[in-house]
Amino acid sequence: MKNIDAAVQIKPARRLECFVTRSEELIRQAQVLRYRVFAGEMGARLKSASEGIDHDEVDDYCEHLVVFDNVTHKIVGYTRLLNQYQAQRLGRFYSESEFDLDQVLTLPGRFLEIGRTCVDPDYRGSAVLTTLWTGLVQYALEGGFNYLLGCASITPGPSGFAVDAVYRSIDARNKAPASMQVMPSVPVPAHLRCKRDESGIPPLLKAYLRFGALVCGEPCWDEDFNCMDLFVLLPLDQLQERYSKHYMRDYQETHGDRCAAVL
């Protein structure tokens, strides 16, 4: 049996469970999955690559939200959660290593950063990402957070990074106003930019945008992860109603009218 300490648990009778774990065994499983995705697929240069895991200093300060398959008994989806108090102990949000967040962090309210989100390659196109988002939204609402923030990574196509094509595909309502703009520490170099969209918008960014997230300026070039990162900010009080109802169905069944009060 798996040993979990779950702060969030959704429909345990189902094949897929989503919960926060403090189990060292499950956290290491998640770090192995992260390694497979980020080093194996994306070619990221990881400090912990010799161990066959993806681990950094942020892991020791954050919560680990996992999707667990009760049939195969393995972790198939993951994201890590860093709130502003944990970030204060760490000394920063992870995103601050790539962007100047001064304007964003002056907004009133509580912040929750999402990072290292990944899905097992064998489970893509399944219910894993939906299950992960359900757990994430439940966690954020129960915790009384006002904003989700994080980086959405876009890998290059054969000709480079389609910065212009990506921005053309983002609806105007998903672009942050000047008061919420951030500055990348390393803009995508001109020689790596291309105009053709050869890779499309990744599922994670699509999920952000469907929820009503704001893209807050130009991307940062992350050489270690061989990707460009967009900084996104999701005000939780602006969740589009149809997606809120869809992802919070389980939460409403459990908590009844209290869910409406939290929203």
Bridge partners (DSSP) listed for residue 160: 157
* β-sheet bridge partners, residue 52: none
Q: Phi and psi at residue 92, in whole multiples of 5°?
A: -175, 160
- pLDDT the model gives residue 144: 92
Global pTM value: 0.84
Q: What is the pLDDT of residue 4?
A: 52
On whether the CB atoms of residues 251 and 130 are closer than 8 A, the answer is: no
Class of residue 106 by CB neighbours under 10 A (exposed 0-12, middle 13-18, buried 19+): exposed
Question: Mind listing the pLDDT tens digit of every residue in the chain (263 residues)?
Answer: 244 554 455 445 589 999 999 999 999 999 999 999 999 988 888 888 778 999 999 999 999 999 999 999 999 999 999 999 999 999 999 999 999 999 999 999 999 999 999 999 999 887 998 899 889 988 998 899 999 999 998 888 888 888 888 888 889 999 999 999 999 999 999 988 887 777 677 878 888 888 889 999 999 999 999 899 999 999 988 664 545 555 555 544 544 333 222 21
Q: Do residues 84 and 101 lie in contact, with contact meaning Cβ atoms separated by under 8 Å?
A: no
3-class SS letters over the chain:
CCCCCCCCECCCCCCEEEEEECCHHHHHHHHHHHHHHHHHHCCCCCCCHHHCCCCCHHHHCCEEEEEEECCCCEEEEEEEEEEHHHHHHHCCCHHHHCEECCCHHHCCCCEEEEEEEEECHHHCCCCHHHHHHHHHHHHHHHCCCCEEEEEEEECCECCEECHHHHHHCCCHHHECCHHHCCEECCECCHHHECCCCCCCCCHHHHHHHHHCCEECCCCEEECCCCEEEEEEEEEHHHCCHHHHHHHCHHHHHHHCCHHHHHC
